[in-house]
Structure 1
Amino acid sequence: MFSSIKVKFLVLLTALFALAGCDDKKEAPAANKTSITVEHSQGKTDVPENPKKVVVFNTATLDIIDALNIPVTAVPQSDVHFPEFLSKYADKTYTNVGTLFEPNYEVLSSLQPDVIIAGGRANDVYKKLSDIAPTISLDIDPNNFVASLTERTEQLGTIFAKQAEAKKLIDDFNQKIEGLKAKTSNAGTALVIMVNGGKMSAYGPKSRFGFIFDVLGFKPAATFQEAGRHGNAVTSEFVLSVNPQWLFVLDRDNAIGNKEAQSAQQVLDNELIQKTDAWQQNHIVYLDSTSMYISGGIQTYSRLMDQISDVLQKTSAN
């Protein structure tokens, strides 16, 4: 009798192991589909498919992520002046992981994120971030802006299973470009300047803010050998000498929340600038500086196009 019970027990045990083995086989294929290889500005990285704990340091990428309604766990909040449409990320709902330049590694390690999205101002600390979690740098190339922006949006759509949403976002963006280019073809020459600490720097085609020339088709009032991220130092005399018909202005002090410096309007309100065609035709456009300087993703440039379209419509009606 004892032997009979023993045999039955062994048969039952074998059956249980067999069932457990079947369960393992069912789960195995799913385990093989848990990562995606992402090619980015720092190389190639395997990231989890549709990650849940997401840390974003690159504000241009955050701009796109927000447009795709992708949930975010943590962002840098210290000394960060978010544009209005991204202001919710300053809330305590999101974990603060330091500044755009200096991550809080202790908080990051305890958070155990599934993926860290770096790039932009956090590129210098990419190696340290990648030691904590899979890290990708989805920078946008200003020399090939639309194609690069499209690629980054598509990549985020693939990582977070938002392919359809990404396609619609890109289609709407390209449609807006085509609609605006029809209005800018005969708009005249333009100059993009940034005011910082009472001084001016200018940007031309293929620069950090070259979208106005490279994509929208405004003719540059001046060309520069090399702009760099900080532009080319210019004076009011220079602006008058190239005499742009349009002047697009960014206020860096306003963008970073510095209330002590002269505003861009104050700096430009002088006799030399007042002699330019841009001033006399009321063609000076003050851009959303926080959006352009801090973020710079698909929502930023969509809003920029809306602003320019409105200005062109108003001036053509006069």
Structure 2
Amino acid sequence: MNKKLLTLVMVGLMAMFMAACGTDESKETSASSSETISIEHKLDTTDVPKNPEKVVVFDFGILDSLDKMGIEVAGVPQATIPSYLSKYESSDYENVGSLKEPDFEKIAEIDPDLIIISSRQQELYEEFTKISPTIFLGVDTTRYMESFKENMHVLGKIFEQDEFIEEELNSIDKSIESIKDSAENVENSLVVLANEGSLSAYGPKSRFGLIHDVFGLTPVAKDIEVSTHGQGISFEYLVEKDPEYLYVIDRTAAIGGDVTADEALKNELVQKTRAYQNDKVIYLNPDYWYLSGGGLISVNEMISEIENSIK
């Protein structure tokens, strides 16, 4: 065999070898992209693709966590997006309806790889599953931090960011510990939701109960009714309990309405309380407390608000 022919044979063999390697690599990439993991959640156990490319999110706490993780989403309910997530109001993202009324036609059109819902949509779970794999990542307020951390670890597994999630949660734990020292100096506190001139109180184990259960502030009463909408109270109740700190969440500021919390609390009864007289009526940001919560961003901001209030 002459030298020229030998060279041609060698080139041919190398080309075949490279092609075979490329095929194996392609198969490996394809297998990786189609890999699924089993996620156990409140409503079911669901097989979810790793690193899904098209994600529809119906929980703003989860949305803010994905944003912090650098994960893009395909669709969000654009009706009442918190101001700190306003970028998701743009046409770069599909509008999939509202928190209570999903646009299933639009979701089907997107054909997402994964749908994430929480308590406001749980009754529609079966409808979502007819379109794409769906998981429930709502926060259980009776065990707020445990539930929140479990949700974050699920996101870490799905998007292969376990280390990032662990670092974020460790940072949050340290911030909470620093609050507890200051909380010991607060005699008592009360959390209320203001809605069109009426008030609802929230105590331990409730929607906003982490102020007591996690941050360590003593409630004005241990028997406050635990419910989604809180315990309806009068302004006389505020005078009777006379909280040292009064935390106010304005539902009107979050979703719109006619009577703001500030307007509702401008009355003689509120002015008799220690909280008012000592300038300890604290208006919490409803974007974090009412619309989102349970997110890497929102939980950090919630901690900061309480920490700053009791310094």
- TM-score (norm: length of structure 2): 0.88
Query: Counterpart amino acid of 2:117?
Result: A
Q: CA deviation at 1:97?
A: 0.9
In the alignment, is residue 279 of structure 1 matched against residue 276 of structure 2? Answer: yes
Q: CA deviation at 1:120?
A: 2.4
Does the CA contact (< 8 Å) of 1:193 and 1:200 recur in 2? yes
Tell me the equivalent position of 2:76.
75
**Cα pair distance change 1:28/1:300, threshold 3 Å:** closer
In 2, Cα distance between equivalents of 1:280 and 1:110: 56
In the alignment, is residue 43 of structure 1 matched against residue 41 of structure 2? Answer: no
**Cα pair distance change 1:26/1:300, threshold 3 Å:** closer
Tell me the equivalent position of 2:245.
246
Question: In terms of mean alpha carbon deviation, does 54-63 or 43-52 score higher?
Answer: 54-63
The residue matched to 2:275 in structure 1 has which SS? helix
Tell me the equivalent position of 2:222.
223
Does the CA contact (< 8 Å) of 1:255 and 1:291 recur in 2? no
5 Å matches for 1:1-318? 23=23, 27=27, 31=31, 34-77=35-78, 79-80=79-80, 82-224=81-223, 226-258=225-257, 261-298=258-295, 299-313=297-311
Q: CA deviation at 1:312?
A: 2.1
Q: CA deviation at 1:297?
A: 2.1
Structure 1, gaps ≥5 residues long = 1-15, 314-318
Q: CA deviation at 1:303?
A: 0.8
Does the CA contact (< 8 Å) of 2:224 and 2:231 recur in 1? no
In 2, Cα distance between equivalents of 1:256 and 1:291: 13
Q: Percent identity?
A: 37
In 1, Cα distance between equivalents of 2:25 and 2:298: 47
Does the CA contact (< 8 Å) of 1:58 and 1:122 recur in 2? no
In 2, Cα distance between equivalents of 1:197 and 1:154: 38
Q: CA deviation at 1:30?
A: 5.7
In 2, Cα distance between equivalents of 1:266 and 1:220: 24
Does the CA contact (< 8 Å) of 1:35 and 1:49 recur in 2? yes
Q: CA deviation at 1:257?
A: 2.6
Structure 2, gaps ≥5 residues long = 1-15
In 1, Cα distance between equivalents of 2:70 and 2:180: 29
Query: Counterpart amino acid of 1:304?
Result: M
In 1, Cα distance between equivalents of 2:222 and 2:201: 10
Deviations 1:98-117 (A, max 9, x none): 11112212111121111011
| Length, aligned pairs only | 292
The residue matched to 1:195 in structure 2 has which SS? strand
What is the root-mean-square deviation in Å for CA atoms of aligned residues? 2.1
Query: Counterpart amino acid of 1:306?
Result: S
In 1, Cα distance between equivalents of 2:277 and 2:106: 53
Deviations 1:193-246 (A, max 9, x none): 011011001000000000100001111102335321100010110111011100
Does the CA contact (< 8 Å) of 1:256 and 1:290 recur in 2? no
In 2, Cα distance between equivalents of 1:43 and 1:262: 40
In 2, Cα distance between equivalents of 1:214 and 1:207: 9
- TM-score (norm: length of structure 1): 0.87
Q: CA deviation at 1:183?
A: 0.9
